[in-house]
Every structure is written in structure tokens, then in C-alpha cells.
Structure 1
């Protein structure tokens, strides 16, 4: 499956500054809007995926990714920052309102932090979800998987050799989180009914630096 590239930003850099390329992605600086969007055969068109590296302190990471989102929205819309309002209410789905010539336009936003990475997905068309998970050995992975990932995923993880299980767990966890964010839900325990609802979106893996797993969740469509 195609890995979705992340466009990496330097913390605090304006949209006119082109940061250097980073592992797992590429810098984007002054790229035109049409080239700042994910566009591939998996129909992820219209979604910008951006990231910040090297900000392990959570509050600094939050400020940095918000600044990057604002810069990206300005580049995508052609609007000055003062005509864009980013809303990130605690415990609720983030979104932005663009003051366009034809009235206010909503932009869907999803944000995720883990380790030293912060990611955001931005769509001017439809809901979107994103998640990044640090790959690590979790001693009690099995009960956690049973509670949150369900019996099928737990069985699949149990069948893997131990060296590859941590990455597979991180990928499965990231997919669940991305699906929940797409629906605007908080983390909840697995259920058959909930799993059926989460299946209503498509998930694509992100190209990230080694040691991380990430997933982008998009509206259903043909691949």
C-alpha cells in the first residue's frame, strides 16, 4: 500500500520558508497549493498532512503544530492569517473557520502528538483523522489490545513473532485512534457495534521516521 508522505515544517517557520527534508517525508516551504495536498490513487486528494519534529515537550509541540496549521491554511486558501480562526477546544474536534469572499468556510482538522513528533491533517472538503504512535514494547499489550482493539486484532498480534509485534501494535493502535478522530470520538473500549461504525472510513499509512507508526483516516471512496 502507498505510504502517504508528511510535509515537515520547522517550528515557528512561516509558509514562505522552505525547511530541509526530514526522514520519512519532505520539506514543502513555498510549494503552490496544488502541490501541498496529498494526491494519489487512493483518493486522498484535498488533504494536507503536515508535521513538526523535535518537540518532545507537549505544550511547545501544541504551539508549534498550531502555528504550522495556520500557515498551511493561509497557503491553501490564499487568505491572510487574520481571516483564519483555528479552534482547538479541549476534548473536542479541532476545526478552522476561513473568512472567504463568499462567507465563512469550515476546514476540518485532526492533530496527533507522540514522542517528538506532532502531525496534523487538514481538509477543506470533509472530515479527516490522523494519529501517530511511538513504537515501543508494552509488557501488558494483550489485555490492552483485547480491551481497545478487539479479538481479531489481538489474535493477529499474538500470532506475530515478538520482534515485529511492537510495530504492528503501534500501527493497529494508530489506525483505531485515526478512525475515532475522523468520527469526532474520544478513545473508547472495543465493541462489535462500535467497530462496524469505525469501518466507515478508509485508512492509509503515513511515511514516518523509524520508530513511529501513523495513519490517515479519510472518507470512504474507491481506491
Structure 2
């Protein structure tokens, strides 16, 4: 692998317990069905240029740190079906992690109780946030209303999520808001009557339980 000096994209499926040597040119990394990797702890120089990281079906994965901390250029993070992954397991100096994530997808993560605080470092850059199939998620972060660039927010299959956080100016750039299979949150977001309706009334397209409540003109 060390001879592939211009490699940009790499997909790894392995039974090894650690990542292989990588390259300075690598920008896209996909880890799929790497069941024996528990910690992404070996920070290799070659991964520091990553802009997109996709992790799926890694049933043994417990933590992304300290590997993730060094990905300062990361723009897209997608994590799916990692049943043991605890995104709150970070080092004490998590404030040093300053990513510029634009797209965040968290899917089928049964350990996810709350969106980790370290995503707060991307409040100025995050544009798309998708959370789905996280049955233990009970709340959205208090800094969510401060995501000034967020254009799309989708939340599916989070039945314990009961409300949107408070905020004087709630997601001013939001253009598309969708929730599905979140019973209490759906009730609170109903037009006019819902307690959280005033937080999303400015959004041009709103879809609740597979029904368009508002739809932008084409």
C-alpha cells in the first residue's frame, strides 16, 4: 500500500485489530465490517488528510478516539450500525478537536444517548445532520439552535426524543426539517398547536411522519 502514492479513496474490510498503513494523499476512507477493531487508537500520519470517513457494520468498535481527533480536515462523517460504539468516550482535552464537519450521519447506534459535545466545534460549518435508528437518544444538544449553517435536519426512529432544544434564533438557515417515528416530538411539532412549532415554523419544507406539512415552491 505504501507504493500507491496517489491513492485518494480506500475501502477496508478486515479481521485485523488495527488500521493498515496509509498515505498522505488519502481523502476518503470507508471501514466496513471490521468486526475486530475496537479502538481507532493508532494515529497514522497518512490519515490526517481525510475529508470523508464512513464507518459501517463494525460491531466491535467502541471508540473513535484518539484517531478522530487528528482529522482536522474532516468534512463528512457517516457512522452506521456500530452497536458498541460510544461516541462520548473521548479524551479529557476534547476541546482541542476542532473539525469542520459539513455532513453528519449517525445511524443505528443503540448506545447513543445524546449527541456528543465535541460536535459543537462544527457549529459554523455543519450543513446536513441526519440521525436515524437511535432508540436510546433522549435529547438533542442545547447548542443545536446555534448551527447557523444547517440546511437539512432529519431525525428518524428515535422514540425517546421528546422535544427540540430552546433557542432564541432556532436554526436560521434551515430549509428542510423531517421527523419520523418519534411520536412525542412529532406531536410537539404539529402546526400551530405543537409546543415546538414556533421553532420550525420558518422552515420552508417540513415533513412529519412521511407527510409534508409545508413544502417549498419549486
Using the size of structure 2 for normalisation, the TM-score is: 0.29
Higher relative CO (Cα under 8 Å, sequence separation at least 6) belongs to 1
Using the size of structure 1 for normalisation, the TM-score is: 0.28
Report the structure, 1 or 2, having the larger helix content. 1
